[in-house]
Amino acid sequence: MPRLHLHLLSDSTGETLEMIAKAALAQFEGADVSRHFWPMVRSQQHLDRIMAEIASNPGVVFFTLVNAETRARLEEQCAALGLPIVPVLDAAVEALEGALGQHPKARPGRQHMMDEAYFARVDAIQFTIAHDDGVQWEDWEEADIVLAGVSRSSKTPTSIYLANRGYKVANIPIVVESPPPPELFGLKHPLVVGLTTAPERLIQVRRNRLLSLNQAPETAYVDEDRVAREVQFARRMFADNDWPVIDVTRRSIEEAAAAIINLFNEFKAAREIGPS
């Protein structure tokens, strides 16, 4: 099957468009797709430069453009190249227009306006980056969520994903030879969640990491017995402290984050109700 070039054009950050494209591509296992991302397309001159690249790599074009002239130019040039184009939000906007009885406001990036929620998300991202891998544990009480797990158990990418959803997240590696600071076990405000994974999968991830760094792939870091002990040590710590656990062996970052958000919402609701 030949490679498909998928072009994503947005007049804003393109976050919505990327999520839609990713969800759609998830339905096609093993497809060879090369994604080309073109955000902040707000002028015909910018569009013309992009069209030269699209012509060099023809494929399917997904877009979210609200400016009528820019949109018309895109449609015209794609038609000339014989390329299929998909206005991914049109059906949703048209349905809401009919139901609400009002016309949509054609403002690029309107869903990303800098309101209070936007600045809260920026604050969460800054906090999360500053509290990665056990750093600044003195501030953990300010976090919403603290993730704990052995090395390469997806703590950092899951933390960043959650931060983009507005949650302040810290994470701490669980190392047999180096116990975490005692403060971890006395936290009141944040929800502490343990991340675990199958030792076999962990060894594979770690070995790939070593290879990417041009390091020897056979070290204690990937020793089967040692890794199994690490995972068991972490699981025992989670159980001893009654922390909820997410197994990330077969979960994507998005799926793990969704499960954590559900746990956090339950934790928050229980805290607001108080002891019965």
- Binding residue ranges for ADP: 149-156
Q: How far apart are CA 148 and CA 133, in angstroms?
A: 9
Residue ranges for the known binding site are: 149-156
Query: Tokens at residue 156, please?
Result: 């950092």
Q: How are strands ordered across the β-sheet holding 145-149?
A: 169-173, 145-149, 191-196, 245-247
DSSP for 28-69 reads STT--EEEEEE----SHHHHHHHHHHHHHS--EEEEE---HH
Q: How far apart are CA 194 and CA 215, in angstroms?
A: 29
Which value, to the nearest 10 degrees, does the dihedral of the CA atoms of residues 70, 75, 79, 85 take?
A: 130
Exposed e or buried b per residue across 70-88, where buried means at least 16 C-beta atoms within 10 angstroms of its C-beta: bbebbeebbeeeebebeeb
In this structure, the number of other CB atoms found within 10 A of the CB of residue 246 comes to: 23
